[in-house]
Chain A
Amino acid sequence: AQKITQTQPGMFVQEKEAVTLDCTYDTSDQSYGLFWYKQPSSGEMIFLIYQGSYDEQNATEGRYSLNFQKARKSANLVISASQLGDSAMYFCAMRNKNTGNQFYFGTGTSLTVIP
C-alpha cells in the first residue's frame, strides 16, 4: 500500500512567488516523522525540512515551511519567495518506528520556477 502520495507530478511558479507542494501520508502509527528532500538536476538528494508527529508547531527552515495537518494526514511543503535555483524535484518521505524506521518516499513533484 502506498504510504506517501504526491499528486502533483509537475508545478510551475513565478519567481518571487510562493508555492505549495502537496503530500499526504498513510499510517496508523502515532509516532512518525515527515521529511522533504530536494533533488536538483545534478541528482543529489538534499534534506530540506523535518516534522515530527508530536510537534505542535509547523516546521520552518528559512524559506521552507511545512504545513502539517495531522487530522488530514497532510504535510505540504511551502516555499516562499521562489528563486530560479528552486527548480528541482521535491520528494516527501515518512519514517515510522513501527516499520523498522524505514523511509517511504513519494513519487516526487517537479517544480519549475519561471523568471
Chain B
Amino acid sequence: DADVTQTPRNRITKTGKRIMLECSQTKGHDRMYWYRQDPGLGLRLIYYSFDVKDINKGEISDGYSVSRQAQAKFSLSLESAIPNQTALYFCATSDPGRLREDTQYFGPGTRLLVL
C-alpha cells in the first residue's frame, strides 16, 4: 500500500463549486504539505502543517483553506473554485529531526479541472 494517498485522483468541477482534496499518510510523519504544479512553474507551496495544531500559509494560499484532522490526515479545500485553480495538486509529508530526514515524500497527485 502507498504511504501517502490522495483522493480523488482526478476531479472535474464547475466554477463556484466547493471542493475538498484529501490526503492520508501511513508514514507517521508529523509534517504535511500541499503543493500545486502548473506547467512551466514547478511546484508551489499552498499550505503546510508541522503538527495537528500548526497550520501555515505557503507561497500561494489565497483561495485555499486546509484542515489537519489528525496526524495522518490533511485536507485542502477550494471554497469557490475558479478556472485558474486548474492544476495538479500534490500532498507531501516529511519527518523533522536530522536535516536529511526532512526529505519530503509525495502522494500520487490529484488532477483538478475547473470549468
Contact = CB atoms under 8 A, between A and B. Distances in A.
Mostly, the B contact residues are strand
A11 to B, nearest CB: 16
A50 B58 CA distance: 23
B105 A102 contact: no
B91 to A, nearest CB: 10
Interface stretch (B17-25, B40-48, B70-78): B40-48
Interface residues of A, number: 24
Contacts, number: 59
A45 B2 CA distance: 13
A43 B105 contact: no
Contacts of B56: 100
Q: How large is the interface on B (under 10, 10 to 19, 20 to 34, 35 or more residues)?
A: 20 to 34
B42 A107 contact: yes
Nearest to B48: A102
Among B31, B106, B108, the most chain A Cβ lie within 10 Å of the Cβ of B106
A52 B42 contact: no
Contact of B42 (A31, A33, A35, A108): A108
Interface of B: 31, 33, 40-45, 48, 50, 56, 58-59, 88, 90, 92, 94, 96, 99-100, 102-106, 108-109, 111
